[in-house]
Amino acid sequence: MTIRKAKISDAEGIHKLIRHYAELDRMLFRSLSRVYEDIMSFVVAEQEGVIAGCGALSVVSKDLAEIKSLAVNKRYAGKGLGKAIVQKHMQIASELGIKKVFALTLEEDFFLKCGFETVEKGRLPMKVWSDCANCPKQEHCDEIAVVTSVEKCPKT
């Protein structure tokens, strides 16, 4: 299993994973064109040429970044891929000089196991809510905010 920065050739595999979980109402949908636009923010877990997992890191401000679109193919679930993708993003955040990383998630327990803490969504800056403006769940959001300090996370 390899965790690496995404390439253009990974975009369709990333989109397929995101679309699958969006159809299950487990994450926000991203169009294929949006995946291409954001490809430099993604890392992927690759197993035998297959995109087994993905996640994006979006810088919000000088001290804050968000993990988005974290998904692992069901076939590879429970093997530590999600955690490895989070750790890779924490490494990237550290290299960028980011101090805190957050996520808005329906998988709170997963992020707690990765060293995040649950926080009130209102504690996050308004800039965080840019994706919320286009979300169909805007009025009744069920996502949970989690945050961690980059220095707390183990290095990969």
In the predicted model, is pLDDT for residue 155 greater than 60?
no
User: What's the pLDDT tens digit per position in 15-51?
Assistant: 999 999 999 988 888 999 999 999 999 999 998 889 9
Please state, in angstroms and rounded to a whole number, the distance separating the CA atoms of residues 15 and 89: 19
- Domain with 34, as residue range(s), is 2-152
User: What's the pLDDT tens digit per position in 102-154?
Assistant: 999 989 999 999 999 999 887 876 656 666 666 666 566 678 899 999 986 55
**Confidence (pLDDT) at 126:** 64
CATH code of the domain containing 109: 3.40.630.30
Count of domains in the chain?
1
Q: Model confidence at 10, in pLDDT bands (50, 70, 90)?
A: very high
Closest among 153, 128, 145, 129 to 64, alpha carbons compared: 128
